[in-house]
Amino acid sequence: MNKTLSALALATLTLTLSACGNKGGDSGSTLVIQQSSDTPTLDPGTTYDTGSGQIVENLYETLVGYKGSSLSDLEPVLATEWTEGNGGREYRFKLREGVKFHTGNPFKCADAEYTFRRNLVTNTSDSGNWFISESLLGTPSNANDDKSITWQRIADAVKCDGETLVFNLPKPDPAFLRKLAYIGQGIVDSEHAKKIGEWDGTEATWKAAVGKDLTGSPLSQDPSGTGAYKLVKKDATTIAATAFPDYWGGKAPIQNVLYQKVPEQAARIQAFLKGDADFIESGGRTIIESQLKGQPGVAVLDDLPDTTATGLSMNQNIKGGQIGSGKLDGRGIPANFFSDVNVRRAFVAAFDTPTYIKEVLLGKGTPRNFLLPDSFPGYDKSLPAPEYNLDTAKSEFQKAWGGQVWQNGFTLNVSYRAGSKTMQTAMEMLKKNIESINPKFKVNIIPKEWSEIIKGSNQGTEAMVVTAWAPDYADPDNFVNTFYSSKGYYAPRINAADPQIDAWVQEARSTTDTARRNELYAQIAKRAEDQALYVLMPAGVGVFVYRDNIKGISHDTFNPMTAFVAGTQWKNLSK
């Protein structure tokens, strides 16, 4: 079986590299990445997941980027310099000259203008454009949801003054420049985009493009950016890219990159140990320590900053799909099962954080009291984290729904991303503990494709899923508003709304007083913990493996704002 799999993998590799133009199949000129997730889109205008982001960030470029490993220092990319004026409400960007798109079209200010206007027009909550819209239009909504948005407001917000790009903000936003570094603001080839059927960029047609789903857009199928790599092939299991010979920063050292979706962890590990893959989704620290570390040709980068926040969400008004009978009769749950705070508190108390840290994170982890990285301002380390206690969970279940949960039992379907061993383990631990409390409790764990989970979460059909966030920009608001505000990203998807939390979030967003912001975030954390809005996963310590012939990887170059596991772009790697 193993020989057959290896032969199949090698055959696939040879065929794909041939498509990339590498007829000899020289592995030294090819970077092979294997992960379990699919890639929902290659359109930067709707890229809002790490599976897509790690590809898009190498095909496209932003105006500015993070410098080295810093989370706050920015450096020029497609912009060479910028100035701030009008009390922080105007930004003027001088753009880099001599840059070409993958089609050969020259990069001009009109491309940047088109990109940002397109993002403001098509803006949906499923993309990262809500936070750039907040900066430029004063609202996270699009014109369908906010009737005050007009074409004139969009045109005035971003425009060209000759070859200088000008942004006009309704009010100062201290995080604006860092928002521009997010790959969702990658500059697209406007001439190419219009040619293949994207929005034409005019006032006459903008209304028809408002809120348009760009996931499978023409640009997703046929991208053209200024990045160091250009797309060669994309199908359900493989993405192949090749170094762009006319890249303004010089041709990348590694000629070809092959991204493969390989759901089976054993197959990924086998390929990695054989040297057929350079980077893999390993399955976490446990697998790295037990199967990979110390093996010939394997290098490990450990003790990396964890700037993500992860929890298990509990949807308080499920839109069908995951509720079985729809009643508290032991065969399902009502759609509003999680609207009872006692149910939520029971699930929180039933998650064994100490064992998860010990067995999954191998002791390298800490409990969290809030879905905010503890390295960020505003994290209150004095607030105790939720306690694992099955007696507490039992007591809360007995109170839930006036005693009906305890008396009748329930069957709950929960989902995790297929191929993710850490999340599978988390769900299995929770299932075991919940079912041990009462024999009438049943938890079914269902593996799904990442794109399917995203779709289900957006439509509100998932009862419970792993909810994770990597920062779009380095500010606590990017987490707190995202998870806890009823106008944020995740809270609306799980139908969680708390007026007091909303008021505190909005106050924190409107003040530059750091001490007051920290005080507000501490209050939000305490109330959110009392309301048990999420099952909080502990903070880990980042680690990944790679083949030891890969150069360009170190703590000094690792930046957690980069979606690719190595914390850097492909162009910075060599063999």
DSSP conformation class of 332: B
Residue 6 pLDDT level (bands cut at 50, 70, 90): very low
pLDDT at 19 over 80: no
Mean pLDDT of 300-308: 92
Do residue 273 and residue 336 come from a single domain? Answer: no
Pick from 161, 190, 219: which residue ends a domain?
190
- Find which of 24-38, 103-117, 410-424, 486-500 is predicted with most confidence, using mean pLDDT: 103-117
Pick from 129, 161, 190: which residue ends a domain?
190
Strand order of the β-sheet with 466-469 is 466-469, 309-313, 534-536
Do residue 277 and residue 350 come from a single domain? Answer: no
For residue 284, tell me if it sits in a domain. yes
Cα–Cα distance, 168 to 158 (Å, whole number): 6
Task: Identify the helix (H) or strand (E) that includes residue 239.
Answer: strand 238-243
Enter the tokens of residue 332: 């399902």
- The SS3 of residue 480 is helix
- The SS3 of residue 247 is coil
pLDDT tens track for 430-446: 999 999 999 999 999 99
**Whole-number pLDDT of residue 5:** 35
By percentage, how much of the chain surpasses pLDDT 90? 79
**Whole-number pLDDT of residue 125:** 81
Residue 511 pLDDT level (bands cut at 50, 70, 90): confident
**Whole-number pLDDT of residue 209:** 97
Contact 461, 320 (CB under 8 A): yes
Do residue 434 and residue 551 come from a single domain? Answer: no
pLDDT at 423 over 70: yes
Q: What is the CATH number of the domain that holds 364?
A: 3.10.105.10
For residue 219, tell me if it sits in a domain. no
For residue 361, tell me if it sits in a domain. yes
* Pairing between β-strand 30-35 and β-strand 256-261 as defined by DSSP bridges: parallel
Taking the CA atoms of residue 131, residue 133, residue 139 and residue 140 in that order, the dihedral angle to the nearest 10 degrees is -50
pLDDT at 7 over 70: no
Pick from 132, 155, 190: which residue ends a domain?
190
**Whole-number pLDDT of residue 376:** 80
- Of 511 and 540, the one with more pLDDT: 540
Which residue type is seen at 47?
T
Q: Classify burial at 154, counting beta carbons within 10 Å of its beta carbon; exposed 0-12, middle 13-18, buried 19 or more.
A: buried
Contact 429, 340 (CB under 8 A): no
pLDDT at 453 over 90: no
Contacts of 335 (CB under 8 A, 6+ apart): 317, 318, 319, 320, 323, 326
Q: Based on the structure, what is the number of domains in the chain?
A: 3
Q: Which residues face 35 on adjacent strands? A: 261
Do residue 508 and residue 386 come from a single domain? Answer: yes
Cα–Cα distance, 298 to 275 (Å, whole number): 9
DSSP string across 175-217: THHHHHTSGGGPPP-HHHHHHTTS----TTTHHHHTT---TT-
**Whole-number pLDDT of residue 443:** 97
Enter the tokens of residue 27: 């592995």
Do residue 74 and residue 101 come from a single domain? Answer: yes
Do residue 380 and residue 393 come from a single domain? Answer: yes
Contacts of 204 (CB under 8 A, 6+ apart): none
By percentage, how much of the chain surpasses pLDDT 70? 95
Q: Where are the beta strands (DSSP E) in 3-117?
A: 30-35, 64-66, 74-76, 79-85, 90-95
Do residue 442 and residue 473 come from a single domain? Answer: yes
pLDDT tens track for 118-162: 999 999 988 989 999 999 999 999 999 999 999 999 999 999 999
For residue 393, tell me if it sits in a domain. yes
Which residue type is seen at 53?
G
Q: What is the CATH number of the domain that holds 301?
A: 3.40.190.10
- The SS3 of residue 279 is strand
**Domain boundaries, position 509:** 309-540
pLDDT at 2 over 70: no
pLDDT at 18 over 70: no
Do residue 285 and residue 405 come from a single domain? Answer: no
Distances in Å between the Cα of 552 and the Cα atoms of 28, 246, 423, 567 are 15, 22, 30, 10
Enter the tokens of residue 82: 């910028």
Per-chain mean pLDDT for the chain: 92
Task: Identify the helix (H) or strand (E) that includes residue 59.
Answer: helix 50-59
Do residue 183 and residue 251 come from a single domain? Answer: no
Global confidence as pTM: 0.76
Matching residue, tokens 């067995």: 359
Do residue 30 and residue 139 come from a single domain? Answer: no
Cα–Cα distance, 246 to 108 (Å, whole number): 16
Q: Where are the beta strands (DSSP E) in 77-192?
A: 79-85, 90-95, 158-161, 164-168
Cα–Cα distance, 349 to 353 (Å, whole number): 9
Mean pLDDT of 491-495: 94
**Whole-number pLDDT of residue 575:** 95
pLDDT at 3 over 80: no
* Pairing between β-strand 441-448 and β-strand 410-417 as defined by DSSP bridges: parallel
Cα–Cα distance, 29 to 23 (Å, whole number): 11
pLDDT tens track for 186-200: 999 999 999 999 999
For residue 227, tell me if it sits in a domain. no
**Whole-number pLDDT of residue 283:** 86
pLDDT tens track for 234-280: 999 999 999 999 999 999 999 999 999 999 999 999 999 999 999 99
Contact 521, 309 (CB under 8 A): no
Mean pLDDT of 437-456: 92
Do residue 346 and residue 475 come from a single domain? Answer: yes
Distances in Å between the Cα of 237 and the Cα atoms of 26, 251, 570 are 21, 27, 20
DSSP conformation class of 89: T
Q: What is the CATH number of the domain that holds 96?
A: 3.90.76.10
For residue 258, tell me if it sits in a domain. yes
What spatial distance separates the first Cα and last Cα of the chain, rounded to whole Å? 31
- Find which of 9-13, 24-28, 325-329 is predicted with most confidence, using mean pLDDT: 325-329
What does the H/E/C string look like for 521-574?
Answer: HHHHHHHHHHHCCEEECCEECEEEEEECCCECCCCCCCCCCCCCCCCCCHHHCE
Do residue 373 and residue 267 come from a single domain? Answer: no
For residue 132, tell me if it sits in a domain. yes
Q: Classify burial at 143, counting beta carbons within 10 Å of its beta carbon; exposed 0-12, middle 13-18, buried 19 or more.
A: buried
**Whole-number pLDDT of residue 24:** 36
- Of 494 and 4, the one with more pLDDT: 494
Q: Which residues face 301 on adjacent strands? A: 544
Distances in Å between the Cα of 525 and the Cα atoms of 70, 370, 541 are 26, 6, 22
**Whole-number pLDDT of residue 28:** 60
Q: What are phi and psi of 229, to 5 degrees?
A: -130, 145
For residue 374, tell me if it sits in a domain. yes
Enter the tokens of residue 105: 């079209």
Pick the closest to residue 233 from 49, 46, 18, 6 (CA basis). Answer: 18
